[in-house]
Amino acid sequence: INAEYGNGTICTMSRRNCPRLGLVCTPLDDINLARAKQISVSDIVYYSMSDAPSREAMQHERARAEEMGLSLSVVEGGPRMDQIVAGGPQREEQLAKFAQSVLDMGECGIKVLCYNFMHWGCRVGRTSYDVPVRGGALSSRFSVQEWDDTPVTDRVPSREAMWENLAVFLRAIVPVAETAGVMLAMHPDDPPLSELRGIQRVMNTVGDYERLLATHPSPHNGICFDVSLFGLMREPHQPSVPGLIRHFGDAIKFVHFRDVVGNKFEHVEVFHDEQGLSDHVHVMRALKDIGFSGVIRPDHVPLLAGEEGHQVGDKAQGYYSGKASGYTMHGRLFAIGYLRGLM
């Protein structure tokens, strides 16, 4: 055990194979930064699903994190890319802005960009944000039976057109990421279904991720490994979640740690310590086995007693959401302690 009391350096693995605990702070203020440091977090994740921060904002938030002894290491969400995903008329303009944002990240020393390729007509899907779980805490649910699958638009690309749009994106942005020293980490479709509301989705199977990596091979074209979503998307004949971690290995650049009960058509998000689809001890062991030394962050957490929750449409920044958005702070404090114990 490496534990230097007083400066917060704690890791039960060798330093070489030590994942780093990251946190999204909502709001990203001095109190939550102090809490992050106090509970043994080392890295801060800047989260916004509406747009990327400016270079000045990155510099400001990095300096603020460093004052607390933390590192601003990940931007999650990234630059606006609705036209890129859909192949719209402003695609080239958005690609140019995306490239500049990646260069800005490199200049600011922020080395991971987590993004997704869900069409902006229908991104994250939930059917409830007030499902009672342990002790009356509230969480979210997706249920195909409850889902309104009315098409949102009649102008959507086909599945292969979506793949071509992704290929265009990778050809334009991966070389920029290589120059900037930034790792791109693709987040899965949530839920991992191939179509919602008439819109094709292309990141919802293990095969999709293999195709992503083969489309533009590069150490900088990588994966955000969401434990719950890979658990939902894997087929019975495919490796377990720990097996998939070993399968993808160095392609994993960033980890979302959460879990669910159910299947990809019907599932509820649960507390981090509850038995979901994966054995978390083996998940952490697999990350150690591949030498993962990047950032793990607790993803969606239940809304605990005494917390107000978010208003509809006000998650952290970006997605439509509801009361138990998964982005409240008290549950994250518990989740960090659980992850620290696993480590």
pLDDT digits (tens, 9 = 90+) for 280-307: 999 999 999 999 999 999 999 999 999 9
More confident residue, 98 or 51: 98
CB 223 within 8 A of CB 292: no
User: Percentage of residues in the chain with pLDDT exceeding 70?
Assistant: 92
Q: In whole angstroms, what is the distance from residue 238 CA to residue 129 CA?
A: 31
pLDDT digits (tens, 9 = 90+) for 217-241: 999 999 999 999 999 999 999 999 9
pLDDT band at 81 (very low <50, low <70, confident <90, very high): very high
CB 54 within 8 A of CB 78: no
For the residues 326-330, what does the mean pLDDT come to? 91
What number of CA atoms fall less than 13 Å from residue 102's CA on the CB side? 28
Query: Residue 52 corresponds to which tokens in the numbers above?
Result: 């990327």
Lowest mean pLDDT among 149-158, 207-216, 220-229: 149-158
β-pair partners for 224: 254
Q: In whole angstroms, what is the distance from residue 205 CA to residue 310 CA?
A: 31
The sign of the dihedral angle between the CA atoms of 289, 295, 300, 304 is positive
Cα–Cα–Cα angle for 232, 319, 233, nearest 5°?
A: 10
Which residues does 130 contact at the CB level (< 8 Å), separation at least 6? Answer: 138, 322, 323, 324
Query: With 70 as the cut, is the pLDDT of residue 242 above it?
Result: yes
Which residues does 5 contact at the CB level (< 8 Å), separation at least 6? Answer: none
Q: How far apart are the first and last CA of the chain?
A: 11
pTM score of the predicted model: 0.94
Q: If we measure between CA atoms, which residue out of 144, 124, 123 comes closest to residue 267?
A: 144
Which residues does 106 contact at the CB level (< 8 Å), separation at least 6? Answer: 179, 180, 181, 182
What does each C-alpha distance from 67 to 30, 61, 63, 71 come to in angstroms?
Answer: 10, 10, 6, 9
Instruction: Give the relative orientation of helices 55-67 and 91-107 as an angle to the nearest 10 degrees.
Output: 30
What are phi and psi for residue 213, nearest 5 degrees? -70, -35
Only one residue has tokens 């969606």, namely 300
Q: In whole angstroms, what is the distance from residue 54 CA to residue 60 CA?
A: 10
Q: In whole angstroms, what is the distance from residue 53 CA to residue 46 CA?
A: 8
Query: With 50 as the cut, is the pLDDT of residue 141 above it?
Result: yes
**What confidence score (pLDDT) does residue 319 get?**
47
pLDDT band at 320 (very low <50, low <70, confident <90, very high): low
What are the start-end ranges of the E strands in 162-259? Answer: 183-187, 195-196, 199-200, 221-226, 252-257
Which residues does 235 contact at the CB level (< 8 Å), separation at least 6? Answer: 206
For the residues 150-167, what does the mean pLDDT come to? 91
